[in-house]
Amino acid sequence: MPRKILWTQPPPRGWLLYDADCGFCTRWAWRLALFVGPRGFHLAPLQAPWVRRRLGLSPGELLHELRVLTADDALYGGADALLYLARQIWWAWPIVVLTWLPGMLPLARAAYRGVARRRHCLPAGAARPPSASCALPGMGGHRKAAPGVPHSRPGGA
């Protein structure tokens, strides 16, 4: 069942863009939306036509990582996107400060890339049956949208 569009106007701060075909990504995007939605960020799937047009990335690049597109067209991806969002939440600032320590930002980026490479193998990572290399218990489908969480397309498209 498609998600209901709750807001159709562009958000004041930007979009949290996620892989809607990945259960793991969808679950975490909706969890993050609980914190960044009230701060002016809406959710949008990376597969949305307007996202593909606006980002201008190849299909392989497009789904590579979670992204944040700000209202002023700045684009952050992966660990940098998560850190950008953490800077918007006062109680998440200690995470940002930790990345200022020598070697921590490259470590955070490497950890993100490791999880991103295996996201379809993680619980709720894929709606399709996992491959033998991903055989983990608890593989599930997509999570239903939480009511009141912003999900939008610019211009009501």
Per-residue pLDDT of the chain (157 residues; tens, 9 = 90+): 455 544 456 678 999 999 998 888 999 999 999 999 999 999 999 999 999 999 998 888 888 899 999 999 999 999 999 999 999 999 999 999 999 999 999 999 999 999 998 887 877 655 544 444 343 334 333 334 444 444 554 544 4
- Give the ranges where 67-130 is alpha helix by DSSP (H): 79-86, 93-98, 104-117
* Cα dihedral 134, 140, 141, 146 sign: negative
What is the model's pTM? 0.72
